[in-house]
Structure 1
Amino acid sequence: MTTESLFMCFLLCAFCVGAVRVGKDSCDVDLLVVYKLHVETHWSREVFPKQYPEWRPPAQWSRLVGRSHNSSYSLFRVGRTANDGLKMFSETGQTDGLVERGQGEDGVFDQFNGPSIPTGEGHSETQFFVNGNHTKVSVAMRIVPSPDWFVGLDSLQLCRTGYWVDSLSIQARPLDAGTDSGFTFTAPNWPTEPRQKISYITSQNPSHPANSFYYPEQQELPAIVTFRFYKIKLYQLSKNVNLPLGNNHVLAHNDLVIARQDDISNDVVPSIVRDHQQSRRAGKSKRRPVPCRVTEWSSWSACSVSCGIGEASRSRRVMKLSRRGGRPCPSLAETKWCGEHTDCPQRFFKW
């Protein structure tokens, strides 16, 4: 092997290893993770005796609405005004306005729901998906009856220092959506104009004796809900793809991606490599390089499963190989997630 070949191999291998290393604060994008969410509510006459609703309707909870998402999406945010969807949900429990922000849009990965709880004290369970590009979860449940009060979690991060959280318990306290000015659980509709910012309800705020959560003798309100998250299953996106040509693809070996030299685009090869190549070509023939040409992508294949999470793939083929240092051939196959657990009959997943 010549000195030039050794030099090129060293630089290219170092580049490949560095390019695929996952940052310590991110999780693998090829992993699909299933979490179970267990909700336990603590709204009892013993814990919250003031104006405890016994009938028409008695103390209870709406169904839970949840989203797994990235940083571009928020279901709600303390300190900001509620959008129309959250206003409708916090005042009536209707979710139509929230559902309009559909799956795969606005940074949302999985839309999920949990069953309502017909009593003040109770529990429910649901499941949802996250992946390395959508590592946060937000949930909300309406307090019934109430003017516009709810409990929820905003953008809870489930990927910590490169690892998925195994289990996590969060205690939640009431929130005021800022869209209704009622003080009590059963207050008549009293729209707030303009809307106020979403805020926490505390034992002393709103500071009015009529408020149903006003307990001035307490430093803080007890938790009214506990959210418990459990990681229960992981899916690995398949990396073994059959390609038309054996010399123009990327091979996956655990966490290290090994690429042939011809596969590395001139756009990403370090400038030191380009400079070295150019210096070796100085004075040689000026024949024009020929770039690789490939066909358009095929259509995405059908999802590999009819219910749940599967994979879809598409491919393209080489029409003409590159020559004389022309642009190398790009990837010839792609795989993506498809489907969602909400497409399945109830209790399809049995882990």
Structure 2
Amino acid sequence: MDTTRNTLSISEALYHLIVMMLTLGQGVHSMPVPTDVPMCTASETAQYKLTFFGKWSHAAFPKQYPFYRPPAQWSNLIGVTHSSDYHMWQRNDFASNGVREFAEKGEAWTLMKEVEEAGERIQSVYGILSAPAVGGGTGQMKTEFEVFARHSYLSFIVHLVPSPDWFVGVDSIDLCDGDQWKENVLLELFPYDAGTDSGFTFSSPNFETIPQDKITQITSSFPNHPANSFYYPRLKHLPPIGKVMLTKIKKTNQIISLPVEPTDSNQLPTGNEIEDTLINTPLDCEVSVWSPWGLCKSKCGDSGLQHRTRYIIMHPANNGLACPLLEEERKCFQDNCL
């Protein structure tokens, strides 16, 4: 996938959609808000800076880590500010066609159309935000956005590249607390499966899930299959594969900003807001099943030896369990010896 070309074309389309959504957000009338959720009573709008930190490193996720064709990276971030009666995506619910296309291919056209239609139909969407793609597993992207009392929620999604239909994101985080806006919010991100592709590994070929499954969180033991790229049975929990910092900033006359342009280097700078100790996830050696026993090598009437072998599927990393013996022998006697 040509990440740079896709990012530029998507950003251009997002610019026009943002203008449309801002016009929509300013022109709609208030609708009744569900009474079973806390009401935001903040009198003024608030602006936030969103910083996404990729934590998808070989040390933290050594199993089948994609180094090339393509290497580990992140798609652009697509987000929405909205009211409580809208969801871009939800855990344990079916992905929309727009979420499906974005989770599988990083294509945002259908997803943006769905957001636009939701804003027109139920007047629940205020604005769209985006941030440029990150060309490595570890790196960052930034953008800014605005919220107000009627639309105090934030949702977003980022596609893992490469992957079958895996993504990270947030569903409906409320940035309002009563009549006050939250100053800082730190969110740890874990991978989700969109339920539309049945691949187990980062580089699995396209294999459509029929019938479609619901969106589920990927864990160290689910899917419970050793071929799964996130299968680490020794871990109780996966380390976060990403983090997001939301920081309230001084209000300006600008309603929403365009994505912050990527810098020359996507590597995390020293002294940034999130300081983590280096995570080294142990990866145990994985071997195949034993081959059948070979022929018995002996003279008639004498005992001999026969052998069987197995091979290494996954070499250990980060002090994981070493590989066991790859060859065994046992005594035998020839059958049908004349």
Structure 1 segment 111-260 matched on structure 2, within 5 A: 111-234=128-251
Q: 2:50 aligns with which of 20, 37, 46?
A: 37
Deviation of 1:26 (Å): 3.6
Measure how far apart 1:341 and its partner are. Answer: 3.8
Contact 2:42–2:176, Cα closer than 8 Å, also in 1? no
Asked whether 1:81 is paired with 2:98, we answer: no
* Structure 2 counterparts to residues 5-16 of structure 1, below 5 A: none
TM-score, with structure 1 as normaliser:
0.60
Identity %: 41
Tell me if the contact between 1:29 and 1:133 (Cα under 8 Å) persists in the aligned partners: no
Cα distance, 1:234 vs. partner? 3.3
> Is the contact between residue 172 and residue 223 of structure 1 (CA under 8 Å) also seen in structure 2?
yes
Change (3 A) 1:86 1:42: same
SS at match of 1:35: strand
TM-superposed CA distance for 1:31, in Å, is 1.4
Matches of residues 18-37 of structure 1 in structure 2 within 5 Å? 25-28=38-41, 30-37=43-50
Match of 1:96 among 96, 106, 109: 109
Distance (Å, rounded) in 2 between the aligned partners of 1:210 and 1:345: 38
> What is the match of residue 64 of structure 1?
77
The answer as to whether partners of 2:129 and 2:144 remain within 8 angstroms in 1 is: yes
- Structure 2: runs of 5+ lacking an equivalent: 1-36, 263-338
Give SS of 2:126's match. strand
Residue 212 of structure 1 and its aligned partner are, at CA, apart by 0.3
Counterparts of 1:155 and 1:32 in 2: how far apart (Å)? 18
Q: Deviations over 1:21-80 (max 9, x none)?
A: xxx954446512111001111111101000000000000000000001001211100010
Letter in 1 for 2:147: V
SS at match of 1:155: strand
Query: Any idea what the Cα deviations from partners look like across 1:91-137, whole Å, max 9, x if unmatched?
Result: 00000011112284341111010110100011111111110000100
Taking the aligned partners of 1:44 and 1:226, their CA distance within structure 2 comes to 13
Q: Please identify runs of 4+ aligned residues in structure 1 that moved more than 2 A.
A: 24-30, 103-106, 344-347
1:162 Cα deviation from its structure 2 partner: 2.2
| SS at structure 2 position matched to 1:55 | coil
Q: What letter is aligned with 1:61? A: W
Is the contact made by 2:42 and 2:178 (CA closer than 8 Å) also made in structure 1? no
Root-mean-square deviation (Å): 2.2
1:109 to 126, 145, 164: 126
Q: Which amino acid aligns with 1:186?
A: S
Are the aligned partners of 2:154 and 2:172 in contact in 1 as well (CA < 8 Å)?
yes
- Counterpart CA distance in 2 for 1:85 and 1:67 is 14
Letter matched to residue 98 of structure 1: L
- Would the aligned equivalents of 1:25 and 1:162 in 2 still touch at CA under 8 Å? no
Q: Give the conservation status (yes or no) of the 8 Å contact 2:164–2:199.
A: yes
